[in-house]
């Protein structure tokens, strides 16, 4: 980690925000780690959730009740690519793939392959999107 130093790839608060016990300073992320954190925040934020940035985020919830088809999958992949293009200028997206193999368990896996523009380094991000939250867990007796 890069505490107290500047980074040409970016630097920001860790998410969720954490504080160092000894100094009381905010724990920061930098470089590739900051980009990964930014992507996770972007994919996990619903459009309209941020008051100062109402267009920031991705509307995955409005696709929840759509039938699973090639058309819906392609549409969702294109939406993700556009959101990444608009809100994360530090990367070039090479591919977005949505894995539907775990839909029965209520999980969709978003795989993003990207290149960081400043370093020409290639990375993958695997983002699990849960269709159900933890509140819907039922007790089995």
Q: Is residue 6 part of a domain?
A: no
Q: Determine contact, residues 88/39, Cβ cutoff 8 Å.
A: yes
Look up residue 104 and give its DSSP letter: G
Distance CA(127)–CA(125), nearest Å, equals: 6
Alpha-carbon dihedral angle through residues 83, 67, 106, 88, given to the nearest 10 degrees: 0
Residue 83's domain is classified under what CATH number? 3.10.450.40
Q: Is residue 5 part of a domain?
A: no
Q: Determine contact, residues 127/108, Cβ cutoff 8 Å.
A: no
Its pTM stands at 0.79
Q: Is residue 3 part of a domain?
A: no
Give the domain range for residue 67. 11-136
Number of domains forming the structure of the chain = 1
Going residue by residue through the chain, which has 141 residues, state the pLDDT in tens, using 9 for 90 and above.
444 455 666 777 777 778 888 888 888 887 888 899 999 999 999 999 999 999 999 988 777 677 778 888 899 999 999 999 999 999 999 999 999 888 777 788 999 999 999 899 999 999 998 876 655 445 444
């Amino acid at each position: 980690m890069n505490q107290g130093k500047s980074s040409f790839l970016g630097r920001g608060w860790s998410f969720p925000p954490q504080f160092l016990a000894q100094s009381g300073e905010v724990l920061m992320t930098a470089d590739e780690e900051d980009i990964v954190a930014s992507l996770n925040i972007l994919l996990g934020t619903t459009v309209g959730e941020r008051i100062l940035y109402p267009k920031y985020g991705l509307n995955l919830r409005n696709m929840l009740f759509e039938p699973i088809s090639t058309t819906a999958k392609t549409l969702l992949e294109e939406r993700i690519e556009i959101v990444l293009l608009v809100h994360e200028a530090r990367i070039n997206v090479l591919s977005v793939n949505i894995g539907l193999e775990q839909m029965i368990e209520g999980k969709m896996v978003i795989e993003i392959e990207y290149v960081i523009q400043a370093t020409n380094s290639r990375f993958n991000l695997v983002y699990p999107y849960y269709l159900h939250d933890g509140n819907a867990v039922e007790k089995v007796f």
